[in-house]
Structure 1
Amino acid sequence: MRITPNPSRTGTARTKGSSAIGALPLCMGLMTIAAPLVAQADSPSANSESRNYNIAVQPLYSALSALAEQSGVQFVYNSELVKGIDSQGVSGQYSLEGALKRILSGSGISYRFNSGNTVTLQNTAELEPQSAATMPAVTVIGKTDLDPDDPYNLSYTRTNTALATKTDTPIMETPASIQVVNKAVLHDQQSYRLQDAIKNVSGVQSYHSYGGDHEQFVMRGFLQSTVNYRNGIRIPFTKFDLANVERVEVIKGASAMLFGFGDPGGLISTVTKQPSSTPYYSLEQRFGSYDFYRTEASATGPVSKEHGLNYRVDMSYLDTGSFRQNMGNDRIFFAPTLSWEATPDTKFTLSYEYFDENNAYDYGIPAVGNQLARIPISRSFVGRSDLRNSTTNNLVDFRIDHRVNDQVKLNAGVVSSQYQKYWQGFYTGRVNETPGNSFGNATRNYWFSPENAESLTAWVNGTFDFETYGVKHKLLLGGEYYNSQLKYEVASGNVDTINIFNPNIAAVSDAQLSRIRNARFNDVIATENTSKAIYFQDQMTFWDKLHIMGGFRYDWVDREQDLSWWAPAGKDARNDDVVSPRVGIVYQPLKWLSLFGSFTESFGPANDYDTGGAKLYDLFDATQFEGGVKTQFFDGKLNASVAYFDLERTQFFQDPNSNLINAQVPVKGSSKGVELDVQGQLYEGLSVIGTYAYTNAKVTDDVTAPANIGKRMPFAPNHQGSAWLKYDFDGEWLKGFSVGAGVYVSGRRYGDAANSYFDRSYARLDLMAAYKRKLGDVNLTTQVNINNVNDAEYYVLRSRRTNLPAEPLAVMGSIKLEY
């Protein structure tokens, strides 16, 4: 719900430094609230102090994980020890030892408290330890869920996530559709782009953005902006490398209550790898079709165990060609992280990312008639291989995590991102489709532009666990400051006319290129978005089975736009106050079954620029109703969910008269559908990912083109789905071998709101095989992936002028060493 929209005004953009100071009262206010709670709680002793535990009946491995989280200790045990065993849980005031006895009651498992805040578990009937040669793998539980961040963890599932609640909450207790693509999946499929991971999530399609330079997606029928998230923090314009990514998390639908202005279909967040006190090193070389070469290296371990100082470094180098003429890119990525556990309850983390890439601007293939032009998918229209966009991105992330006591946890952070790009792009105008000598003609145009963007986010959260009248509460209080600035100057114009059906299109000449590079900038655009927000959320639990969530967020949003260098009315500014509510409920009648429902909202900026001047319009908003079922089988090894959603984008801006190639024309739309996701292990050695989505997305209003009302929203098929299976052999002769296969299918997708053209249905087959063995202390993995085995032809859509063919059959091999 929007309140107090203020009139348009003209003003001067504030600097990021002075604005960031305005975020300090939010942090100070939260700390003031927490202070009384801090004063009355001291850090508990190891195992003698009595405290309140609340751990429901569940599989023993997850009960131990919950006890580790609530007590702060680590459990070390043989992973086979707890297999198939349930725990009665524990509820009430107990010492740590008393709570552990209750959880282990009837299991036949004994325990031993060690130094260093660890507890070893073993079989009570075990007379003597096994030899080192036959000892099974040891599982360590403590502050993580079955050690999901261990580099050797092969699980496709994760039981907890913080993305949908900003608190560490079991997915089964969260009233939202959340999908997690773990690092095991990324490795098995040799993913190195965000789109490689997202193909394992229901209801998501890629979108051809800015010549393929940005990664954008269509979720639940609505197009995302050029914004993705890193560790739950909004990072605009940035392209992610997966070398330092632990997993990719996706939350579906509107989510303004936690994240402020954003897109109605959902958001995607990478979660980065963190330093470990256990040394680990890896080196991987990949090579494949179209001159693909990629090197990845990682190292982590202690700098000083005595002082709790750990490091991590992840890096990658990419050099690849393309099946498309004169296309390709090279990239360097470097990401060091340093963490310091100053006390057992306080941790500081500082990370940095450097990203440098040179890639070709690929405008793709236009539409002719109601389908894509029937020309070779390798054909491009520039004719030169020496034109590359250059991109440099620097990101710094600093955060503090502090555990006051079992009931109070505080964390805060600052993330700064700076992005510089120089565009060197050529694109074609709309194809002449009139029969005759000019059929297939299109103007060839240029777009050269230096672009600079930066963003700053400062945030603080406090989580408070307490109980009132038998109702358990997990209260979240938080504040956020966000500022992003973008400026780019554009030299654009016509080069010549070509015919897309001519197999011998002339290259852009040196003389033409020289004229373009000396051309005067004819467009200069500067924008700034600033938001300050506070938010509140309460997760309430009744009788350990009913979970009710409610909360709201209040945003103060300021937007400024300056086109005064070239437009008659070149400046506009506006501020809006927005309240975003959220309510949700989960009923868990059985430990493996959850029923959920929710109502959420989102809002986002609506900017326009054309030769008439700058215009800032009322923020669009969206509402979503969602309900569904979540299940866990086989002791939590297999997760499945089904969700129904009803999503409507209720306000919008559109200007079909804009002649800029980057001007979007959103329309008012409604999307309803059903999504199914399955992840995990069907039985020992067999892992699976399955998805299906039915999306009924329709145009509900279009004041400039009423004929579009009732037509399909672009880019989203009615039906899409996937299935990926991987089997790890464990027999005497095949131990170490793995094989996998995946099928990805999609129905017809339209490329615009008029449904004037479409891409046909397709089905794509991927295969993989790998072999792992130990060479002394080194683990060796050799792997081969074959993507698009059946050479299916399909496209990533954008508009009648630009659509990118998907990569045909491609082979990728890799050799990886881990120590």
Structure 2
Amino acid sequence: MKFRLGYLSMLVAFSSVAQENDTSTIEKITVIGTDQQRYIVDSTKSLTGFPVDFLDLPRVVNIIPEQLILDQKITDLSEALRNSPGISLSDGFGGTNDDFLIRGFRRNTVYRNGFRRETNFKTNLSNLEYMQVVRGPASITYGQVEPGGLVDVVTKKPLVTSRISGEARLGNYDDQFLMLDVSQPISDKLGVRVVASSQESESFRDFTDISRNTISISSAFQFSDATSLDFSYEYRDESRPLDRGTITVPTESGREVINELLDIPLSRRFGEAFEVFESEFNFAEATLSHELNDDWMLKVSGAFESSSANDLQARPLATAIFDADGPVTEDGFVVFNDPADIAGIFGLSTVAIFDDPSDQVFLIRRTDGSQEQDVDVFYANLLLTGYAKFGNTNHRLAFGADYRDGETNRFFISTDFTNGVAEALGGDGALFNVSNPIYGNLADSLSTEGATLLTSVEENTGLFVNDYIEITEKLNLLVGLRYDSFDVDGESADNIGEDNFSPQFAANYNLSDTASTYVSYATAFEPNTAVNTLTGANESFDPEDSEQLELGFKAEFFDGNLQANAAFYDIQKSNVLSSDDDDLPILIDGQSSKGAEISLAGQPTDGMNVIAGYAYTDAEIGTGANSNNRPRNVAENTFNVWASYELQGGELEGLGMGGGLFYVGDRYGDDANTYKLDAYTVVDLSAWYTVNIPGLGASDTLRFQLAVKNLLDEEYYSASGGDLRISIGTPRTVVGSVSFDF
């Protein structure tokens, strides 16, 4: 797929020097400002295995390039995804992993160069070349995926010329970031690139420390004109708080966020200072490419992922609400006339409501977490692509096979839930007062001694074929079929074996040289396994099956520099894996999602970049108690627009400014639709100035940038992980940076 975000030429100034007794001239090229080609991604093969032009592809893929990440000063995948319509956020295990919904369906993973990453740690954006948001089922090429779509992160590769770039950034809450990116050709056959970054940061939330260090190495070796080998490796270690945000409480008018009822600052944590998620991540991959002839190419890829993690949290079970003169002390100990009433406090969470500002709200909590979690996964892919002619029709063909074998080992350990009775009296400790918190009443560590090692071994095999048939100059068909086999076993998982066939059919018709329309039918298959957060054991459920029918229109403007999509879809899915208010996995009988999306991206004029989108998502849970309800965290309406302009001449040449508006409509906080999280709008601004460095090369530059995120200081709640896990949006922050490019 050739996805041209546009073609804005670099600003080039020419000067010539006449040399004595010589009629030739020497051309001096000076580049001032941002290389606009860095907004361009020429093509992607995400849905087919072979490139298809933008107007000819019968689906929608949104591209978010690295330069947009830099202009918006994006540090997190969730920020980047604001630039793609129809995406809502989810809780993300207390903000420690990437968690989002596309077209109303929650992601199952993030892909890396087409490999389905086993771990869902925060994505490293410093090594990102671009990311692609594939909308709708993409199981033919990618395998077992959610029907709403997926995110595939494409990492940086060696460049054909020498380049050294880097950035130093400083922001609110002592946010410090350093990055160095070096690409160097070793010979005419070998190139190497190294990208390293380090971040130390606090947060607007209490006792928060974030630390992340990454290094990525990639190389490209050209054995011959027909054969090449690409290799890459990434290492990352990270420590960040496991922050469950705030809570809701039952009121006479339904559940409400406690911060809106009591004078509780958004900075206050209801957890403990010891809550942390620590992880190490290794990912190595290699791809051997060989051109069999002018029409056919074979690619063989292998990868190995190894990671380790420990997480520790103060998990809330329920709220205990007392009147102002209720039988509880301020430090969380319940006063009982009869010791047998100890168990009754758990009943308070279901019958008591918050009906007066003087009410006292406490949390029943415990310490738990996964300790010494180790993941090892091996991947192997084979892809044969080529061109053939049968009769009067041309065919672009892709034959693929993929294999994935992984093992996960961990201990899951927990303490008893507090019951408001002192341990000296046989109880399990104090409750937590959200208005007058006393920290340090929970165990701050967990021992693996005597614990059971939980293991899970998973094996996936897939085979697929895609055939893109050029019927006429205007009409094209896409036909695909995939077979999946899935097996999981281990001490913490039931023995599961599933297999499935997934077809896809699509037709694309070119209305003109600049417009096309398409219709597609696609399916997806996903085995259902989930972790019981109370026991730590893996549980299996019936597999998910889904299908989507989509109608779309595409157009190009300004000589192909601006591209637009409009899509209308209907997704039906059975056996949806979700979670209840206690964060326990449950199976919903079905879910549907109908909607419309419009997206726009490109460079309509020199120096200007635009990316915008709107999505309407009508998602409903199928049968059962919550039938016809909207799924949790799914917004009916989302809107995004970002536009930037950089002066292309004059004394202020290299000066650029950009601004964006990101709107997310109201979302329900639970599948029962008992309460809502309000809609919110975030406005960002950014300004930069690029100058040449005197005495160095003509293209060597420094860039000074200032960015303001959430300019209007909007207070909002970005997602719900359940009644006791409400994520809090980040307030206004200011970021300054200096970057160089030699």
Equivalent-residue separation in structure 1 for 2:366 and 2:451 (angstroms): 14
Kindly provide the amino acid, as one letter, of the partner of residue 283 in structure 1: G
Equivalent position to 2:256, from 371, 374, 377: 371
Report 1 or 2 for greater relative contact order, CA contacts < 8 Å, sequence distance ≥ 6. 2
- Tell me, in whole angstroms, the C-alpha distance in 1 between the residues paired with 2:146 and 2:190: 39
Does residue 475 of the first structure (1) align with residue 397 of the second (2)?
yes
Does residue 506 (structure 1) correspond to residue 428 (structure 2)? The answer is no
Aligned match for 2:601, one of 645, 655, 679: 679
| Equivalent of 1:772 in 690, 696, 699 | 690
Who is 1:484 aligned against?
Answer: 406
The two structures have a TM-score, normalised by structure 1, of 0.78
Evaluate the alpha carbon distance shift between residue 312 and residue 520 of structure 1 in structure 2; reply closer, same or farther with a 3 A threshold.
same
Give me the whole-angstrom Cα distance separating, in 1, the residues matched to 2:392 and 2:24: 44
Q: What is the deviation of 1:629?
A: 0.6
Aligned with 2:670 (options 736, 752, 774): 752
Q: Which residue of 1 aligns with 2:113?
A: 231
Residue 354 (str. 1) matches residue 235 (str. 2): yes
Encode CA deviations 1:240-271: one digit per residue, 9 max, x unaligned. 21111100101011121112212121110100
Q: Deviations over 1:594-630 (max 9, x none)?
A: 1011111111122256669865333111111111111
Decide which of 280, 289, 293 is 1:405's aligned counterpart: 293
Is 2:161 aligned against 1:278? yes
Q: 1:266 aligns with which of 149, 162, 168?
A: 149
Change (3 A) 1:222 1:500: farther
The 2-side partners of 1:270 and 1:726 are apart by 24
State the distance in 2 between where 1:343 and 1:612 align. Answer: 51
> What SS is found at the alignment partner of 1:591?
coil
Aligned to 2:307: 419
Aligned to 2:367: 446
Give the letter for the 1:366 counterpart: I
SS at 2:73 equivalent: coil
In structure 1, distance between residues paired with 2:433 and 2:627: 32
How far residue 665 of structure 1 moved from its aligned partner, in angstroms, is 5.2
Q: SS of 2:94's equivalent?
A: helix
Cα contact 1:157–1:639 (8 A) shared by 2: no
1:252, 1:265 within 8 Å by CA — same for their partners in 2? Answer: yes
Match of 1:724 in 2: 642
Rounded to whole Å, the distance in 2 between the matches of 1:521 and 1:791 is 49
* Aligned CA distance change for structure 1 residues 151 and 667 (closer, same or farther; 3 Å): farther
Give the conservation status (yes or no) of the 8 Å contact 1:157–1:638: no
Shift of 1:522: 5.8
**Take 1:612 and 1:460, find their aligned partners in 2: how far apart are those partners?**
35
Please report how far the alpha carbon of residue 159 of structure 1 lies from its aligned counterpart in structure 2 after TM superposition.
4.8
Cα offset, 1:558, TM superposition: 1.1
> Partner letter of residue 142 of structure 2?
F
The separation in 1 between residues aligned to 2:9 and 2:619, in whole angstroms, is 50
- Which residue of structure 2 lines up, in the alignment, with residue 461 of structure 1? 383
Range that drifts further, 262-271 or 364-373: 364-373
CA distance in 1: counterparts of 2:439 and 2:118, whole angstroms: 34
Contact 1:491-1:521 within 8 A present in 2 as well? no
Distance in 2 between residues matched to 1:267 and 1:169, nearest whole Å: 19
Q: What displacement does 1:337 show?
A: 0.8
Corresponding residue of 1:335: 216
- What is residue 318 of structure 2 aligned with on the other side? 430
Separation of aligned partners in 1, 2:72 and 2:299: 34
Structure 1 counterpart SS, 2:629: coil
Cα distance, 1:238 vs structure 2: 3.7
Q: Summarize the Cα distance change of 1:154–1:192 in structure 2 as closer, same or farther, 3 Å threshold.
A: farther
Aligned partners of 1:745, 1:373: CA distance in 2, in Å?
24
Residue in 1 that maps onto 2:207? 326
Output the CA distance in 1 between the equivalents of 2:141 and 2:403: 13
Q: Is the 8 A contact 1:625 1:645 kept in 2?
A: yes
Q: How far apart are the structure 1 equivalents of 2:38 and 2:588?
A: 40
Q: Does the CA-based 8 Å contact 2:409-2:456 persist in structure 1?
A: yes
Q: Tell me: CA distance 1:653–1:190, structure 2 relative to 1, closer, same or farther (3 Å).
A: closer
Output the CA distance in 2 between the equivalents of 1:183 and 1:231: 15
Q: Residues 441 and 538 from structure 1, CA distance in 2 versus in 1: closer, same or farther, beyond 3 angstroms?
A: same
Structure 2 match to 1:165: 48
**8 Å contact 1:159–1:171 — kept in the other structure?**
no
Residue type matched to 2:738 in 1? I
For 1:525 and 1:648, locate their aligned partners in 2 and report how far apart those are by CA, in whole Å.
Answer: 34
After TM superposition, give the deviation of residue 547 of structure 1 in Å.
1.5
Between the aligned partners of 2:147 and 2:674, the Cα distance in structure 1 is 25
What is residue 211 of structure 1 aligned with on the other side?
94
Contact kept, 8 Å, 2:367 with 2:443, in 1: the verdict is no
Shift of 1:158: 3.5
Deviation at 1:171, TM superposition (A): 2.4
Q: Post-superposition shift, 1:589? A: 2.1
Partner of 1:242: 125
**Could you tell me how far 1:192 is from its partner in structure 2?**
2.4
Structure 2: gaps spanning 5 or more residues:
13-22, 329-359, 419-428
Distance in 2 separating the partners of 1:779 and 1:79: 14
Question: Residues 779, 612 of structure 1: CA spacing in aligned structure 2 closer, same or farther, 3 A cutoff?
Answer: closer
Seen in structure 2, the aligned counterparts of structure 1 residues 561 and 518 have a Cα distance that, compared at 3 Å, is: closer
* Number of residues of Structure 1 aligned to a counterpart in Structure 2: 670
Matching residue's letter, 2:443: L
Q: 1:630/1:157 Cα in 2 relative to 1: closer, same or farther (>3 Å)?
A: farther
Counterparts of 1:779 and 1:136, CA distance in 2: 10
Change (3 A) 1:697 1:433: farther
| Identity percentage of aligned residues | 24
Q: Partner amino acid for 1:310?
A: G
Gap change, CA 1:270 and 1:553, over 3 Å in 2: same
Match of 1:632?
Answer: 556
Rounded to whole Å, the distance in 1 between the matches of 2:171 and 2:455 is 41
Partner SS, residue 172 of structure 1: helix
| Cα 1:497–1:178 shift into 2, 3 Å | farther
Partner of 1:813: 736
3-state secondary structure, aligned to 1:353: strand
Separation (CA, whole Å) in 2 of partners of 1:701 and 1:632: 42
Cα distance in 1 for partners of 2:382, 2:635 equals 40
- Identify the residue that residue 537 of structure 1 maps to in structure 2: 466
CA offsets 1:539-564 (integer angstroms, 9 cap, x no match): 0112322111001011121122423x
CA contact 1:203–1:692 (8 Å) conserved in 2: yes
Distance 1:613 1:734, change over 3 A: closer
- Encode CA deviations 1:489-516: one digit per residue, 9 max, x unaligned: 11112354444532x411225xx536x4
Instruction: Indicate yes or no: 2:587 matched with 1:699.
Output: no
Shift of 1:137: 7.0
Tell me what 2:271 maps to: 382
Instruction: Give 1:328 shift.
Output: 2.4
Residue 344 of structure 1 pairs with residue 225 of structure 2 = yes
Give the TM-score normalised by the residue count of structure 2: 0.85
| Residues 266 and 209 of structure 1: CA distance in aligned 2, closer, same or farther (over 3 Å) | same
Q: Distance in 2 between matches of 1:172 and 1:771?
A: 36
Question: 1:449 offset after TM fit, Å?
Answer: 2.1
Partner residue, 1:104 = none
Match of 1:184 in 2: 67
1:762 and 2:694 are equivalent in the alignment? no
Contact 2:243 2:275 in 1 (8 A): no
Question: Is the 2:482–2:502 Cα contact (8 Å) retained in structure 1?
Answer: yes
Distance in 1 (alpha carbons) for counterparts of 2:144 and 2:316: 33
CA-atom RMSD, angstroms? 2.8
Structure 2 counterpart SS, 1:513 = coil
Question: Which residue of structure 1 lines up, in the alignment, with residue 283 of structure 2?
Answer: 395
* Residue aligning to 1:100: none
Alpha-carbon distance, 1:203 to partner: 0.6
Q: Distance in 1 between matches of 2:67 and 2:738?
A: 16
Instruction: Kindly provide the amino acid, as one letter, of the partner of residue 347 in structure 1.
Output: S
Quick check: 1:590 aligned with 2:512?
A: yes
Is the Cα–Cα contact under 8 Å of residues 522 and 547 in structure 2 kept in the other structure? yes
